[in-house]
Amino acid sequence: MTSQSPHPDPLLGGPHDPEHDPSASYAIEPEYVTVLTDRIVATAGESKLTVSPVNGQALAHIPQSSEKDIEDAFARARKAQAAWARTSIDDRATILLRLHDLVLDREEEIIDVAVWESGKARKDAYLEVFHVAATARYYARTAHRHLDTQRRMGAVPGATRVEVNRVPKGVVGIISPWNYPFTMAICDGLPALLAGNAVVTKPDSQTMLTALLGAQLLEEAGFPKDLWTVVAGSGSRVGTSLIEKSDYVCFTGSTATGKRVAAGCAERLVGCSLELGGKNPILILRDAALEKAAEGAVRAAFSNAGQLCVSTERLLVADQVHDRFVERFVARTKAMSLGNGHDWATDMGSLISQAQLDTVIAHVEDAVAKGARVLAGGRARPDLGPYFYEPTILEGVTPDMTCYGNETFGPVISIHRFHDETSAIKRANEGSFGLNAAIFSQDGRRARAIAREIKCGTVNVNEAYGATFASIDSPMGGMRESGVGRRQGAEGIHRYTEAQSVATQRVWGFRPVKGMSNEQFAKTLTLSARIMKKLGRA
């Protein structure tokens, strides 16, 4: 592993050296922090200190929201939403396109804040900028397709006119995670705004500044004040209160927490979408292009230090190519540069926290103690920063090991041989998760056929995860315990609306005409049904 030295960031002040500057306590300038944290709806005076995983230094004191603050946030959001719902679709789309340009114009600033807060590599932080811009552009350009009133078939041709309206839910609550602090904090809310809703969001406490920068950009783009409000605090307190007040909840996080969110929404009979955990498989078939597969597997396993919901933790390799593939995969993994994420040349940055590092260490140590072999990595790197861990490949992982079926959410992947594709599909479908999978093969038709047998919400052929994740027109989400509902595409915006049918009946109604008995009316309806079938009508 090679390490990269940090480079100073003139916009945000750059890394400070406490030994030479004892007063330096922020890796980001305090004035910049204040501008962002002033956006939080919080009046109680309580705050929580956050630190950067890059170097362990203090970043910000984040104001914490009280129950009264949350009530105030929802009151303001409901007032703003009532006015916003009356604006035209074109006006909303225009603001989204302004946001598209603004995000790209400010990409360096966004990347800097995201790296300081999450510790990720700069190239991974850039993808967040790109994804938010792509999401904004997609929904702006397809707004009418998704939201215009649509004509449907009526009960009586020529006499029944039916229209379906898309009515906004009201105020959407969004609870977003720390692993992709810009895109997860913003992208799910963009279709909610376009559909005429307001948003109250609770970003993860570890990455509040990145989410707050996103909120600032939304307002600069032209979204009305209070249409997007931010609250802060623990999930048990603030998250629960948000669920109790929202008209719809969007949650991204662990399966255990997602089940509690779903239960809270069910109690109130409001909808929710949940993107949850995964133990994602990647299949290397016997005809895979091995160099391409090895490169893809490195990204699948180690992008964002493995802290990605769609990243791969299980690698299934065909006997025929196993040794040749593993040789290439191990070599590429050992060649990765590990270090400060501010450098574009860094391949992998830090884990987010001590808790995440502890999980990774525990999973690897448990596997090794029970007989697994380390082919690459396998060590924490405190010389680089407090939470660094090497990209790690394990062989010989068995069901009695913790990392076999439990999500590590770190840079650890296990390699398994398979003899035939039937057994590979069976192993890919083991467990209760079903978020993302990848298949590498030079026979696209066969790979797509296998994909239909994989119980995952997204499957990528000859790509790790980017092909599905970056295709904004296609739905993305999990099966089984990996989630409910979908982001992106039509499904990603329709979840924030109520489908309202309006039918106008002309001429003859649903009753006997004057002088006709109920029995005659029934016979007339039966005859019409037979005629409609003969004519090929639905």
**pLDDT tens column, 154-182:** 888 888 899 999 999 999 999 999 999 99
How far is it, in rounded angstroms, from Cα 473 to Cα 80?
29
pLDDT at residue number 14: 47
Q: What is the DSSP string of 80-116?
A: HHHHHTTS-HHHHHHHHHHHHHHHHHTHHHHHHHHHH
**Is it the case that residue 21 has pLDDT exceeding 60?**
no
How far is it, in rounded angstroms, from Cα 46 to Cα 233?
10
Rg of the chain (C-alpha set): 26
Would residue 309 show up in a list of annotated catalytic residues for this protein?
yes
* Domains in the chain: boundaries: 71-276, 280-475, 510-538
Contact 252, 175 (CB under 8 A): yes
**Is it the case that residue 289 has pLDDT exceeding 60?**
yes
Tell the burial category of 296 from Cβ atoms under 10 Å away from its Cβ (0-12, 13-18, 19+).
buried
pLDDT at residue number 266: 96
Mean pLDDT of the 19-36 span: 70
In the CATH scheme, what is the homologous superfamily, with its name and number, of domain 71-276? Aldehyde Dehydrogenase; Chain A, domain 1 (3.40.605.10)
Mean pLDDT of the 260-265 span: 96
- Report the percent of the chain where pLDDT is more than 70: 95
pLDDT averaged over every residue in the chain: 93
Element (H, E) at 77: helix 67-84
pLDDT band at 237, cuts 50/70/90? confident
How far is it, in rounded angstroms, from Cα 55 to Cα 115?
11
Spot the catalytic one: 117, 275, 390, 407: 275
User: Could you read off the pLDDT of 315-373 as tens digits, one per residue?
Assistant: 999 999 999 999 999 999 999 999 988 989 999 999 999 999 999 999 999 999 999 99
What are phi and psi for residue 44, nearest 5 degrees? Answer: -80, -15
Could you tell me which CATH number the domain at 280-475 has?
3.40.309.10
How far is it, in rounded angstroms, from Cα 154 to Cα 528?
14
Mean pLDDT of the 281-302 span: 97
**Is it the case that residue 301 has pLDDT exceeding 50?**
yes
Mean pLDDT of the 254-266 span: 95
CA nearest neighbour of 316 among 355, 342, 288: 288
pLDDT at residue number 10: 36
pLDDT band at 443, cuts 50/70/90? very high
Highest mean pLDDT (candidates 16-25, 203-212, 230-239, 511-520): 203-212
- Report the percent of the chain where pLDDT is more than 90: 87
In the block, which residue shows the tokens 């002033």? 38
187-196, 509-518, 523-532: which has the minimum mean pLDDT?
509-518
pLDDT at residue number 159: 87
Structure tokens at 106: 């400010």
**Is it the case that residue 50 has pLDDT exceeding 80?**
yes
Contact 280, 468 (CB under 8 A): no
CA nearest neighbour of 127 among 378, 464, 527, 506: 464
pLDDT at residue number 235: 83
Please give the C-alpha separations between residue 18 and each of 26, 57, 58, 384, 483, in angstroms, as whole numbers.
Answer: 10, 9, 11, 17, 44
User: Could you read off the pLDDT of 123-150 as tens digits, one per residue?
Assistant: 999 999 999 999 999 999 999 999 999 9
Please give the C-alpha separations between residue 302 and each of 7, 100, 350, 431, in angstroms, as whole numbers.
Answer: 23, 28, 11, 22
pLDDT band at 532, cuts 50/70/90? confident
pLDDT at residue number 3: 39
Structure tokens at 269: 């009979």
Report the DSSP beta bridge partners of residue 200: 173, 229
Tell the burial category of 493 from Cβ atoms under 10 Å away from its Cβ (0-12, 13-18, 19+).
buried
pLDDT at residue number 208: 97
Q: Which residue has the higher pLDDT, 536 or 84?
A: 84
Cα three-residue angle 26-29-35, rounded to 5 degrees: 120
pLDDT at residue number 23: 36
pLDDT at residue number 18: 41
How far is it, in rounded angstroms, from Cα 436 to Cα 58?
35
pLDDT at residue number 22: 35
How far is it, in rounded angstroms, from Cα 104 to Cα 128?
11
pLDDT at residue number 26: 62
Mean pLDDT of the 456-471 span: 94
**Is it the case that residue 48 has pLDDT exceeding 80?**
yes
Spot the catalytic one: 187, 309, 403, 456: 309
Would residue 275 show up in a list of annotated catalytic residues for this protein?
yes
